Structure 1
Amino acid sequence: MRRLTAGLFSSVDGVVEAPHLWQFDSFDPELGAGMNTMIERVDTVLLGRQGYQEWAEYWPRVDAADPFGSFITPVRKFVASRTLDGELGWTNASLMTAPLEEFVADLKGTEGGDIAVCASVSLVRQLLFAGLLDSLMLMIHPVVAGAGRRLFEPGDPVTRLELQETAVTSRGNIVASYGLRSA
């Protein structure tokens, strides 16, 4: 069974939206090395419509020497969308052919490397609460963002997690990976 993972940059106050606005100089070599380790295991990426549209506009234009850019453009990508249809313009991108949870459950049963959820807070939440997300990595930066979308919302179900791994980087980032807690 393939592993489904997600990694999000987060502020101390839980903001996960637009980290480029508050990340400042806290992205350090350890975070870069961790991201490289993650992308070495991933051969499939899941995106939501908005994340797909933003990334399809940006990443194909980035210098081929960029480590993430050289990963994200050629990797196989599946997009969850109720509004997009037809062929997608970005290399190796296609629409999911079934409802999200059904599609992902089937995809996890295929051969291959890890599957990563990228650029979609909504997909991360939905897949976590559906019990399909194997690992949620939060890279918590030493900053209070003050405003922006948070991963969890009032009214979310109580969901017990267990710590899988933790590290502190040289610039004070806390990297914590969680999985669903077994009953």
Structure 2
Amino acid sequence: MGRLVATTFMSLDGVIKNPEEWQGPFFGEDAGRFAEERLFASDALLLGRGIYEVYAATWPTMDDDGGFVEKINKMPKYVVSTTLDKAEWENTTIIRGDVADQVAKLKQEFEQDILVYGVGQLAHELLAHGLVDELEVWVHPILVGRTGGEALIGREGSRHEFELVGTETTELGVIICRYRPAVGKD
């Protein structure tokens, strides 16, 4: 059975929105290697509509020597959306209806991880249903200065406790924290 791993970039002040605007200077060679290891340990991607649209517009036109782009483009992808009519990105299936039930079934289909990029509405719904097996937060040494709502990792009414299972620190000061849900604490 596959594990569901939600991973996100976060600033010191808890901002996760638009990391492309602030995380770049902290993404060194070792961070790239860690991101590659995470992707290659995964059988599938699970995305919310917003991040899907960003990725679907950029990844298919990229290429690299290391195989990261080929892997992300060819692997099975699932996008949760009530508004998409069709998915243009190769190997993408749209999930509608009972998301928790369908994701639970997906976890049964795959041996390796199912990777969720971002901790937005989708990840919080999966957390609420006990479907997230690991939360990975890349804490960047920057204060972005945004407040409220979907800019922050936390959501109103979404309380979950975790246990730290590991950390790594990159050469540029990003602390990669891996957590699993604390059993019986929510």
Asked whether the two chains share a fold, i.e. TM above 0.5, the reply is yes
Which residue in 2 is equivalent to 1:136? 135
Which residue in 1 is equivalent to 2:114? 115
Cα distance between partner residues in 1 of 2:73 and 2:134: 23
Equivalence map 1:39-78=2 (5 Å): 39-65=39-65, 67-78=67-78
Cα distance between partner residues in 1 of 2:140 and 2:72: 23
Residue 171 (structure 1) shift = 1.3
Cα 1:64–1:33 change in 2 (3 A) is: closer
Provide the TM-score with structure 1 as the length reference.
0.91
- Give percent identity, aligned residues only: 33
Contact 1:2/1:112 (8 A) holds in 2: yes
Contact 2:7/2:119 (8 A) holds in 1: no
Which residue in 1 is equivalent to 2:158? 156
Residue 97 (structure 1) shift = 5.1
Q: What are the ranges of 5 or more consecutive residues in structure 2 without an aligned counterpart?
A: none
Equivalence map 1:10-89=2 (5 Å): 10-65=10-65, 67-85=67-85, 87-89=86-88
Which residue in 2 is equivalent to 1:169? 170
Of the structure 1 ranges 72-81 and 113-122, higher mean CA displacement relative to structure 2 is found in 113-122
The one-letter code sitting in structure 1 at the alignment partner of 2:124 is: R
Q: Secondary structure at the match of 1:102?
A: helix
Segments of 4+ moved more than 3 angstroms? 64-68
Cα distance between partner residues in 1 of 2:156 and 2:120: 15
Contact 2:8/2:119 (8 A) holds in 1: no
Cα 1:24–1:57 change in 2 (3 A) is: closer
Cα distance between partner residues in 2 of 1:122 and 1:40: 25
Q: Secondary structure at the match of 1:73?
A: helix
Contact 2:46/2:77 (8 A) holds in 1: yes
Number of residue pairs matched by the alignment = 181
Cα distance between partner residues in 2 of 1:145 and 1:67: 32
- Superposed CA deviations along residues 16-57 of structure 1, whole A, max 9, x for unmatched, are 111121114111222112111111111111111121112111
Provide the TM-score with structure 2 as the length reference.
0.90
- Superposed CA deviations along residues 107-166 of structure 1, whole A, max 9, x for unmatched, are 111243210112562111111222100011000010001116111123323x21100111
Residue 98 (structure 1) shift = 4.2
Cα distance between partner residues in 2 of 1:107 and 1:28: 33
Superposed CA RMSD: 1.7
Contact 2:3/2:113 (8 A) holds in 1: yes
Contact 2:14/2:153 (8 A) holds in 1: yes
Cα 1:69–1:119 change in 2 (3 A) is: farther
Cα 1:109–1:50 change in 2 (3 A) is: same
The one-letter code sitting in structure 1 at the alignment partner of 2:161 is: R
